[in-house]
Amino acid sequence: MELKIPKHIAIIMDGNGRWAKNKGKIRLEGHRAGAVNLERILEESIKLGVKYLTVYAFSTENWKRPEMEVKGLMELFSGFLSSKKKTLKKQGIKLLVTGSKEGVSDSLLKKIEETEKYLENEEKLIFNIAFNYGGRKEITDAINKILADEKREPGKPITEEEVAKYMYRPDIPDPELVIRTSGEFRISNFLLWEIAYSEFYVTDVYWPDFDEEEYNKAILSFNRRDRRYGGLNAE
């Protein structure tokens, strides 16, 4: 049987801190190793024919981490954009950064905008980085945008289709598979609206160790699922 490749895969890259601790390194070393691993997973996504890859790089709750770790994560992200943009272009990767602008420095916002522009015509893989992202914030922002839309008839009931159109990335199809590394069965405010029917795969492997083989295991597991979207399977 031919392997079904999810069109959109979303990943919660968890376990960088534990990976570092196990190796007697500081947490930031774990995040650095996590960023390197991302390159491996991007490459494999292209090989497999995944069209959209969303990764959770920084949540709206991550600001609560120690100042040094937050600063380190910002620098790591900024360094990733500068040092990898040419490689991403060669690979045909289009970059989108999705989330809130609140609290993010002007220099980083500018770099994000420039990098997105630099890669805007690529189309082999859409690489969507959820950065300063919160699922509840995305839904709240959508509701506020609907309320502020002067073209809407006041008091008219809102439909699901309408809400979907006001999400941050209405053009990206919902993920078919969500992968979480390092063992926790939680969604942590990730893509709350978009994952309504996604399959969920959790592995104990820490993100920096989540290699091509582990990635393929997740896709194999997805292939064994019986996806019914609340209905019944045809006989």
- Nearer Cβ to ligand FPP (79/173): 79
- Nearer Cβ to ligand FPP (71/165): 71
Interaction residues for ligand FPP, span 4-23 (CB under 6 A): 13-18
Yes or no: say if 104 and 30 are a contact pair by the CB < 8 Å rule.
Answer: no
* 76 near ligand FPP (CB under 6 A): yes
Size of the site for ligand FPP (CB under 6 A): 18
* 129 near ligand FPP (CB under 6 A): yes
d(CA 94, CA 128): 8
Helix, strand, or coil (residue 177): strand
- Nearer Cβ to ligand FPP (13/177): 13
Q: Indicate if 121 belongs to the active site.
A: no
- Nearer Cβ to ligand FPP (77/222): 77
Buried b / exposed e along 54-93 (16+ C-beta atoms within 10 A): bbbbbbbebeebeeeeeebbbebbbebbeebbeebbebeb
* 62 near ligand FPP (CB under 6 A): yes
Yes or no: say if 94 and 126 are a contact pair by the CB < 8 Å rule.
Answer: yes
Which is it for strands 8-12 and 125-133: parallel, antiparallel or unpaired? unpaired
Look at the block and give the residue holding tokens 């609206």.
193
- We find the least distance from the C-beta atom of residue 123 to ligand FPP, in angstroms, to be 20
* 29 near ligand FPP (CB under 6 A): no
Q: Indicate if 174 belongs to the active site.
A: no
Yes or no: say if 35 and 80 are a contact pair by the CB < 8 Å rule.
Answer: yes
- Nearer Cβ to ligand FPP (34/134): 34
> For ligand FPP, which stretch binds (CB under 6 A), given 76-84, 108-116, 159-167, 172-180?
76-84
- We find the least distance from the C-beta atom of residue 135 to ligand FPP, in angstroms, to be 15
Tokens found for residue 158: 């809102």
* 99 near ligand FPP (CB under 6 A): no
E strand residue ranges, the chain: 8-12, 52-59, 93-98, 125-133, 177-180, 199-202
Which residues sit at the interface with ligand FPP, rule CB under 6 A?
13-18, 31, 34-35, 38, 57, 62, 76-77, 80, 129, 182, 207
